[in-house]
Amino acid sequence: MTREPSEVLFTNVRILDGSGQSAYPGSVRVRGPRILQITRSLGGVSAGDAMVIDGAGATLMPGMTEAHTHFSWNDAASLAAIQTMPLEEHVLWSAKVAHNYLKAGFTSCVGAACAKPRLDVVIRNAIESGQIPGPRYLAASQEITVPGGLGDEMLPHLPFPDFSFGVVVNGAEDLRRVTRMFLKYGVDAIKLNLSGDNFVPGADAKTTWMTDAEVAACAEEVRMRGKRIIVHARSCASVKQALRHGITMIYHASFTDSEALDMLEAAKDSVFVAPGIGIIYALLNEAEPWGVSREKAVSMGYEEEWAAACESLKAMHRRGVRVLPGGDYGFAFNPHLQNARDLELFVRYLGFTPMEAIRACTLYGGQVMQRPNDLGLVREGYLADLLLLDGDPLANLSILREPKRILAVMKDGVFAKTPPVDRARTWVSAA
């Protein structure tokens, strides 16, 4: 093993600082977990005893943030298939996925729900203690739902909660009890499924399932402990319900009307929207091998939702609502590690410029990770979560999902993916 020097100096890099400003040439010195110094020049910099990485013109940018992450989704084609993975295997799977996200350039992830009660918490703790490599992580609860809603996978003749992907509650006090249980386990966020989903027969995306009394009971508990509620809200009514209860992390938000958009705009300094449009795109266009033909996807309502989501999200973006990439990767038709494709979809379908797409996973990433003052930018004093890219992501966003183009990943000043070294010789001497 090579011993890491205490400082790392990236020279000769194009710095894309993540704030939305243009890239500039310079060098970046990292000491410990933070960025110590940025020099805006290609002139010589004293290396001292730092490990020097000559970037040869590569792009240095902040590590990306995934705003809607499910480590425990296991690239299967159904919710039931995620649920039938035994606990022990599920933990190891989640650990492996966490490591892969980090190597793919996601240095922060917002957990959006896990498939068994403690998976997210255990993975977050193991990452923080250094036991396993992975991104910064905010741990979520399971999806909390009501009988018949998205996440209730119990069959009438097998009414056992362990079969269920989500936790099924009924009534405000039941929701309060479950919320307390997850807070006891140590989650950072409670996930509520407010709306249905076209994936679930009988509970489509335009339906809304929870009562205000239920949501209020959860919100009261969560606020008391200083945690966050995150919601699955595809329907227009569910988006408004979330905003009514002061919920700041809204997933999907496909269907909106002008009232919903006005409410979102009014709350734009506190609200984040992560639409997870990758999965709609995939179901509509790419899921044939898994039994979802274009025709079937249309009949499930995905064409209508896609059109509505594009309109809603374009409008939000115009009104200055923060729309973030990430979402629902971890299905067979929308597998893990393709997450950065969201940026391309944002540009192609939602009216983002490439720079705005990048900003949504850097500047906004630090904000959604609840560290707006020291995460998400290449700035002096910020945490050294950095990517070194072969190429210019503004010219071609797809390099962000090509492992070969991601030359190095650093988190907290430590390489999670070490830059390739030009080896002059293959002889290695031992002893």
Q: Which residues bind another protein (CB under 8 A)?
A: 1-2, 5, 51-58, 86-89, 91-93, 95-96, 118-119, 122, 125-126, 131-132, 388, 390, 407-408, 419-422, 426-431
Q: In what order do the strands lie in the sheet with 136-138?
A: 64-69, 106-111, 136-138
Structure tokens at 267: 């709350």
Strands 322-323 and 272-274: parallel
Angle between the N-to-C axes of helices 277-285 and 302-318, in degrees from 0 to 180, rounded to the nearest 10 = 150
Nearest to 12 by CA among 25, 30, 22, 1: 25
Q: Measured from the CB atom, is 85 or 357 closer to another protein?
A: 85
Q: Measured from the CB atom, is 84 or 293 closer to another protein?
A: 84
Q: Measured from the CB atom, is 163 or 415 closer to another protein?
A: 415
Q: Measured from the CB atom, is 88 or 295 closer to another protein?
A: 88
Q: How far is the CB of 180 from another protein (least distance, A)?
A: 18
Whether residue 340 contacts residue 289, with contact meaning beta carbons closer than 8 Å, is answered with no
Distances (CA, A) of 115 to 49, 94, 246: 46, 10, 26
Q: How far is the CB of 30 from another protein (least distance, A)?
A: 14
What does residue 317 show for φ and ψ, rounded to 5 degrees? -60, -45
Q: How far is the CB of 134 from another protein (least distance, A)?
A: 11
Q: How far is the CB of 87 from another protein (least distance, A)?
A: 6
Q: How far is the CB of 176 from another protein (least distance, A)?
A: 24
Q: Measured from the CB atom, is 57 or 335 closer to another protein?
A: 57
Structure tokens at 16: 């894309």
Q: How far is the CB of 76 from another protein (least distance, A)?
A: 16
Structure tokens at 208: 């809304």
Distances (CA, A) of 384 to 32, 180, 374: 8, 35, 9
The amino acid occupying position 340 is A
Q: How far is the CB of 145 from another protein (least distance, A)?
A: 22
In the chain the first and final C-alpha atoms are separated, in Å, by 14
Task: Please name the residue ranges forming H helices in 129-257.
Answer: 172-185, 212-224, 236-244
Q: Measured from the CB atom, is 105 or 325 closer to another protein?
A: 105
Q: Measured from the CB atom, is 126 or 377 closer to another protein?
A: 126
CA 369: distance to chain centroid? 10
Nearest to 185 by CA among 156, 212, 225: 225
At residue 246, the 3 state secondary structure works out as: coil
Q: Measured from the CB atom, is 58 or 287 closer to another protein?
A: 58
Q: How far is the CB of 51 from another protein (least distance, A)?
A: 5
Structure tokens at 221: 């508990």
Burial pattern 279-315, b for ≥16 Cβ within 10 A else e, equals: bbbbbbeebeebebeeeebeebbbebbbebbbebbeb
Q: Measured from the CB atom, is 116 or 245 closer to another protein?
A: 116
CA 297: distance to chain centroid? 25
Q: How far is the CB of 90 from another protein (least distance, A)?
A: 8
Q: How far is the CB of 402 from another protein (least distance, A)?
A: 14
Q: How far is the CB of 93 from another protein (least distance, A)?
A: 7
Q: Measured from the CB atom, is 117 or 301 closer to another protein?
A: 117
At residue 240, the 3 state secondary structure works out as: helix
Structure tokens at 386: 């950095």
